[in-house]
Amino acid sequence: MNFDTIAVVGLGYIGLPTAAVFASRKKTVIGIDVNADTVNLINRGEVHIVEPDLDMLVHAAVSGGYLRATCKAEPADAFLIAVPTPFKDGHEPDLSFIESASKSIAPVLKVGDLVVLESTSPVGTTEQMAQWLAEARPDLSFPQTAGEASDIRIAHCPERVLPGHVLRELVHNDRVIGGMTPLCSATAIELYSTFVEGECVVTNERTAEMCKLTENSFRDLNIAFANELSIICDKQGIDVWELIGLANRHPRVNILQPGPGVGGHCIAVDPWFIVSQAPKESRLIRTAREVNESKPTWVVEKVRSLALQLSETEGKPVGALRIGCLGLSFKADIDDLRESPALAITLEISKVFPGQVLAVEPHIDSQPESLKRHDIPLVSLEDASQADIILLLVDHKEWKGMSLQLRNDQRFLDTRGVVRKPPEQN
């Protein structure tokens, strides 16, 4: 099958790089997004998200005439849906973006088209999407009723790329291809073969949905283990990073790193999709989420007790202490502040110590609104290093290996294990 024209619905962190990579393979790509500002920006060859090399790729794709963005769906040979799947109150998945994306493309579908759901989704969402499409287009047949003979082919191929490495991982990662029928899978493989150099592994759509949720839940559980260890080690007077480094020398142990909590739009969300569908059975997955969600509160408590100690030993009034927070983004070396435990902790600390908090974030230029509202200035690392309590929240490369010369009346809390203390001599 020839995919002359490919439509990508949702031009965000996944959709835009995917559209640009198809365009770089000289496919005609139509990017569809509900946000007119995003559409206009892309049509000028610019980007609204920070991802290495994406700006160059999009600029080349648009100026070469291969990529064009629009708010209204147009006919294509394949449609990729890459819209957000957040959760609602009570951690219930919110499929409304997938529903409206499906309804927006339904009028332009024609016999032989392929529709791929890339958004991370609870089990059963691909079948639900197929149902929405079938209801909107009773004149076409779909795999859930017509099987291999269907007019429209449908598959779930979850995205699995790591922010910060999206363009490399899009090409090199293996893809899980969950077609609703073997023909749907084969058609989806043909589409992805345009640029994927990893292996395309076939399964059904429900297993593909669960596979993506499993990958992110596995990481969440492993980080929860590290976070729980960090709290235990703090109580026991053990350096958790040294401990994990030692344990990981065992050939079958591979523990991830503790931190101030788990952020981002994926790992902190996706495990809830499993829990919401199997609440009684998902005890471990739920507990891991709870452990990771409670870590920011532990960090705030730790700062509070350091402040009390400092005021007792150095005689400084608690209300006069300055707290310098290093890093605001949800993980290292990016500018993304959404769902960031570092930002949440900084704001929470400023509620306990109003007007006493300073923040450093080398990846952003202007003070975010939330910091303005809490009266938290954005300062240099040098200025923050003069604070009474220095709190390291993100392991940015800017301060890896940094050696802090602390005064006697300063305290340092490193939630990422970036600044190592020399091992104590026995």
CA 315 vs. chain centroid, Å, equals: 43
In whole angstroms, what is the distance from residue 318 CA to residue 355 CA?
A: 12
Residue 184 annotated in active site: no
Which of 27, 153, 160, 411 touches ligand SAJ by CB under 6 A?
160
All residues at 6 or more sequence positions from 343 whose CB lies less than 8 Å from its CB, including other chains: 328, 329, 330, 337, 368, 370
**Shortest distance in whole angstroms from residue 339 CB to ligand SAJ:** 8
Q: What is the DSSP string of 90-154?
A: GG-B--HHHHHHHHHHGGG--TT-EEEE-S---TTHHHHHHHHHHHH-TTS--HHHHGGG-SSEE
Shortest Cβ distance from residue 182 to ligand SAJ (Å)?
Answer: 26
Rounded distance, CA 115 to CA 80, Å? 6
323 with 357: CB under 8 angstroms? yes
Is residue 162 a contact residue for ligand SAJ (CB under 6 A)? yes
Q: Is 133 in the site for ligand SAJ (CB under 6 A)?
A: no
Tell me the three state secondary structure of residue 73.
Answer: coil
Q: Which of 212, 295, 325, 331 is catalytic?
A: 212
Among 131, 203, 257, 294, binds ligand SAJ (CB under 6 A): 257
Q: Which of residues 301-330 bind ligand SAJ (CB under 6 A)?
A: 330
Which DSSP string do the residues of 329-346 spell out, in sequence order?
Answer: SSSTT----TT-HHHHHH
For residue 205, which phi and psi values (nearest 5 degrees)? Answer: -70, -35
Query: Is 264 among the residues that bind ligand SAJ (CB under 6 A)?
Result: yes
Residue 108, CA atoms < 13 Å, CB-side half-sphere: 19
Q: Which of 157, 200, 266, 325 is catalytic?
A: 266
Q: How far is the CB of 361 from ligand SAJ (least distance, A)?
A: 14
CB of 172 to ligand SAJ, least distance (A): 12
What DSSP character marks residue 414?
A: E
Nearer to ligand SAJ, 17 or 31 (CB): 17
Identity of the residue, 111 or 162, whose beta carbon is nearer to ligand SAJ in the bound complex: 162
41 is a site residue for ligand SAJ (CB under 6 A): no
* Least Cβ distance, residue 256 to ligand SAJ (angstroms): 3
User: How many residues lie near ligand SAJ (CB under 6 A)?
Assistant: 20
Give the Cα separation of 105 and 33 in Å (integer).
11
Least Cα distance to 136 among 122, 121, 115 occurs for 115
User: Does residue number 266 form part of the binding site for ligand SAJ (CB under 6 A)?
Assistant: yes
Q: Does residue 266 carry a catalytic annotation?
A: yes
If one asks whether residue 215 binds ligand SAJ (CB under 6 A), the answer comes out as yes
CB of 218 to ligand SAJ, least distance (A): 7
Using CB under 6 A, pick the residue from 18, 85, 120, 410 that binds ligand SAJ. 120
The only residue of 103, 219, 316, 374 in contact with ligand SAJ, by rule CB under 6 A: 219
**DSSP secondary structure letter of residue 13:** T
**Residues annotated catalytic, as ranges:** 212, 266
Query: Which stretches of the chain bind ligand SAJ, using CB under 6 A?
Result: 120, 159-163, 215-216, 219, 223, 256-257, 259, 262-264, 266-267, 330-331
